[in-house]
Amino acid sequence: MNSFDLPELVGRRCAAVSRFVHQFTGEPATSTGPLELIWDDGQVTVLDVRSDWTLDVSSDPWVDPYLEATPPEREHLGREVGLWSRILIDESADDLSAVVGARVTAAEPWHNEIGELAGADITFDTARITLRQWAGDLVVVTSRKP
C-alpha cells in the first residue's frame, strides 16, 4: 500500500468520486466502505478505515478482494459474506458530487490521543469533506460552500 500525507492533496482537481458499499445478494447495502477520489491527472486517493479503526490514505486504486473469483464463486460469496460494489458519484445523486471538478484548498488530518490518523477534513473550493470512522465504517460528511 502506498500511503502519503494529506497535505499532498492541496492543489489537486477532482475528476471523479467513487464510494464502495458492502451488501449481501438480494439485500440492501449494509455498510459503506472506501472513498476513492480520482484526480484530473489520473492519480487516485483512497480513504478507508483500517481494522484498528484508524484512517488509511493511499494512492493505490481500490481493488475488489474477490476480483479473481469465478462467477459461481462470486454468487456463493454474495450469499455468504457479501460483496463490495463501486458507486460512481454523479452530479445529481449525492452531496459528494460538489467536489467533482473542484480543487483542494486544504487538507487537515485529525489524530487520536496516541498520534494515529483518526479522521480528516479535505476542503475544496466548493465544499468540505469530513471523514471519520464509526464502528469500523468510513463516515463521509459533505458541507457545500455557500
Q: 109-146, pLDDT tens digit by residue?
A: 998 899 899 999 999 999 999 999 888 889 999 988 87
For residue 34, being part of any structural domain is answered with: yes
Phi, psi for 11 (deg, rounded to 5)? 100, -15
| d(C-alpha 84, C-alpha 98), whole Å | 24
Statement: residue 71 has pLDDT above 80: yes
| Residue whose C-alpha cell is 494529506 | 6
Q: What is the pLDDT of residue 2?
A: 39
Give the model's pLDDT for residue 3. 45
Q: Is residue 59 part of a domain?
A: yes
Residue 76 has pLDDT above 90, yes or no: yes
Classify residue 26: in a domain, yes or no: yes
pLDDT at 21: 86
pLDDT tens digits, residue range 39-58? 999 999 999 999 899 999 99
* Residue 1: band (very low, low, confident or very high) from pLDDT cuts 50, 70, 90: very low
pLDDT tens-digit map of 78-113: 999 999 888 887 655 578 889 999 999 999 999 889
User: In this predicted model, which residue has the larger pLDDT, 5 or 62?
Assistant: 62
Structural domain boundaries, residue 39: 6-144
In a domain, 1, yes or no: no
Dihedral over alpha carbons 77, 64, 140, 112 (to 10 degrees): 100
Surface-to-core class of residue 67, CB atoms within 10 Å of its CB (0-12 exposed, 13-18 middle, 19+ buried): exposed
Q: How many folded domains does the chain comprise?
A: 1
* pTM, rounded to two decimals: 0.86
